[in-house]
Amino acid sequence: MQDIDSKPTFELKDVPGGLPWLGHLRAFKDRPLHTMSEWWCRYGDALRFRLGPKTVHLFSHPALAETVLLSQADQFGKVYEEQRPTGLALVLGNGLVTSSGEVWKRHRRIIQPVFHRSRMAAMADRMAQVGEQRLAAWEGYGEGRVDIAAEMMQLTLEVISQTMFHTSVAQHMDQISHSLHVSLKYAFDSFHNPLHLPVWVPTARNREFRRALQFMDNLIYDLVSARRQSGAEYDDLLSLLLHARDEETGMGLSDQELRDEALTIFAAGHETTANALAWTWYLLATHPEKKAHFHAEVDRVLQGRTPTAEDLQHLPYTRAIFDESLRLYPPVPAIQRKTHAPSTLGGFTLPAQAIVLVGLYNLHRHPAFWPDPERFQPERWLEGERTPARGAYLPFGAGPRACVGTHFATVEGPLLMALIGGRYDMQLAQEQVEPEVMVTLRPKNGIRMTLHRRHKTGAAM
C-alpha cells in the first residue's frame, strides 16, 4: 500500500479530445460518474478537462484530497457566490453547505451543538420510532414489491423532520420528494450546462423549478411560523436557529437565513443517508452470505427488540456493512472547490479561480490503497484489519467543511439497518441497477425489491 506522508508529486494530465467550444461536455454530461472513473483509469490521479468555458481538475489521490480539504483548505474555497447563485445555491441559498467566510463560521457555531454526542441517544430513540411507524405501513404491503430507494427517501425525510423540527411531514411526502427532485436536478444540470438559462426566463423548466422552490419555501416558513405562534420549546434545530443571537450585535437570524439553514439541513440531512441505505440493501441483496451474517448479528443482539443507540456498539458487522457501502457508493461522489489565488500542490500550480473536484468515488476504489477495491468486503472494517490510509476514505469529507451530520448519519444508518433487517429479508426484483449522479449518487431508476417478513410474530427466535 502506498504511503501518502512521502508527499508524492503528480503530472497533471489533460484529457484529450475536447471540442473547441464545448470541451468534454458531452461525455461528462451523459454519464458523469462513469466518465470520471474512466478518465482516472486512463490519465491518472491528477487530470484536467473542459466543460464549456470551465476548466475542471479531477483529483483522485489521498495526498491531493488531504491537501485540498485539509492542509491547504484556506486556499480552496466553496464555489458559490452569494450575489450570483449557481448550482446548489439556487436551491439552498446561503445555508451551511453553500456559504463561506464569517456567515458560514457563525452559522456553523450555531448549528453544530444540535449534533453533539450527548443528544444522540434521544435522537436515536426518535429515529427508531419513525422507523417503526414506517414498518407498520410495510405490513400493508404483504410480500409485495417496493422501490427501496424511494422507501428510504421517505423514511429519512421523516427522521430529519421529526428530529430537527419536531414535526411530521408524512402528509406532504410525495410533494416534498417531487419538489426536491425537480430542484436538485435543476441545480445539478446548471453546473455543467453552459447553455443554462437564468431562472427568470419563463421556460417550462424554469417555471417548474420555481414552483418546486415555492413549495419548499412555504413548507419551511409554515414550520417556522407555527413554532413561533405556539411558543413551544424543544431541544431541536429549529429552536437553536430561532434563539441564535449574534455575539456583537445581539441580532437574530433573518427569515431568509432561517429558511436557508432549515432547507439545507432538510435536504442535506436525508437525501445522503437515504441513498446510503438504498445502496446498502442492494449490496446485501447481491451478497447473500454477507446478508446471512448481518441477520444473525441483528437477531443475536436485538432478539426482536427495537434498537437503541446503546445497541450499536454490539453491532460491529452492521456498522462495517454501512462503512463498506459508503466506500463503494459514496452518496457525495465528488467534492467541489475553487482556488482563491494561484496554488501549488502535488508538484504543479493551479491558477486562481481553478475548479477542483476531489473524486471520492475514485479515491474509495484506488487500487494502491484498497486490496481488491471493487469487492464488497465488510470484513475489512472489523477490528484487527488494516485501517485505510489517511485521505483514502472520505465519505463525509474532511477539514473545516467536513459533514456536520457525520455522527447523526452513522447512528441513523446502522440503527435503521438493524431495525429493518431484524424484520425483513429483501430480495432484488430488478435486473439492472445503475448508479446516477444528481448531486448525490443515487440508483437511476430506483431499486425494486421483494419484502419477506423474517419472524412472523414480530418477536425473533
Q: Which is nearer to ligand HEM, 23 or 261 (CB)?
A: 261
Measured CA to CA, the distance from residue 138 to residue 453 in angstroms comes to 10
Tally Cβ neighbours within 10 Å of residue 307: 26
Measured CA to CA, the distance from residue 414 to residue 449 in angstroms comes to 20
Q: Which residue has the cell 482563491?
A: 340
Q: Which is nearer to ligand HEM, 27 or 271 (CB)?
A: 271
436, 280 Cβ separation under 8 angstroms = no
What is the closest distance, in whole angstroms, from the C-beta atom of residue 10 to ligand HEM in the complex?
21
310, 323 Cβ separation under 8 angstroms = no
Q: Which is nearer to ligand HEM, 35 or 272 (CB)?
A: 272
Bridge partners for 54 per DSSP: 51
Q: Taking Cα atoms as reference points, which of 450, 407, 455 lies closest to residue 429?
A: 450
How far is Cα of residue 244 from the mean position of the Cα atoms in its chain?
Answer: 26
What is the closest distance, in whole angstroms, from the C-beta atom of residue 397 to ligand HEM in the complex?
3
What is the closest distance, in whole angstroms, from the C-beta atom of residue 368 to ligand HEM in the complex?
22
What is the closest distance, in whole angstroms, from the C-beta atom of residue 273 to ligand HEM in the complex?
4
What is the closest distance, in whole angstroms, from the C-beta atom of residue 244 to ligand HEM in the complex?
15
Q: Which is nearer to ligand HEM, 18 or 85 (CB)?
A: 85
372, 80 Cβ separation under 8 angstroms = no
Which 3 state secondary structure label does DSSP give 34? helix
How far is Cα of residue 74 from the mean position of the Cα atoms in its chain?
Answer: 23
Q: Which is nearer to ligand HEM, 150 or 451 (CB)?
A: 150
What is the closest distance, in whole angstroms, from the C-beta atom of residue 401 to ligand HEM in the complex?
4
Q: Which is nearer to ligand HEM, 15 or 153 (CB)?
A: 153
Which 3 state secondary structure label does DSSP give 385? coil
Q: Which is nearer to ligand HEM, 89 or 451 (CB)?
A: 89
DSSP track, 204-217: HHHHHHHHHHHHHH
What is the closest distance, in whole angstroms, from the C-beta atom of residue 145 to ligand HEM in the complex?
25
What is the closest distance, in whole angstroms, from the C-beta atom of residue 404 to ligand HEM in the complex?
5
- State which residue has the least CB distance to ligand HEM: 405
Query: What is the chain's percent helix, strand, coil content, to nearest 5?
Result: 50, 10, 35
Q: Which is nearer to ligand HEM, 62 or 397 (CB)?
A: 397
Q: Which is nearer to ligand HEM, 23 or 162 (CB)?
A: 162
What is the closest distance, in whole angstroms, from the C-beta atom of residue 40 to ligand HEM in the complex?
18
Q: Which residue has the cell 432561517?
A: 258
Measured CA to CA, the distance from residue 302 to residue 297 in angstroms comes to 8
458 conformational bin, left if phi > 0, alpha if psi -120 to 50, beta if neither = left
What is the closest distance, in whole angstroms, from the C-beta atom of residue 14 to ligand HEM in the complex?
25
285, 448 Cβ separation under 8 angstroms = no
Measured CA to CA, the distance from residue 99 to residue 119 in angstroms comes to 26
Q: CA 437, 440, 444 angle in degrees (round to 5)?
A: 45
Task: Please give the residue ranges that form the binding site for ligand HEM (CB under 6 A).
Answer: 96-97, 108, 160, 264-265, 268-269, 272-273, 276, 331-332, 335, 395-397, 401-405, 408-409
| Contact partners, residue 421, CB within 8 Å, separation at least 6 | 284, 294, 295, 298, 318
What is the closest distance, in whole angstroms, from the C-beta atom of residue 329 to ligand HEM in the complex?
10
Q: Taking Cα atoms as reference points, which of 397, 402, 77, 126 lies closest to residue 237?
A: 126
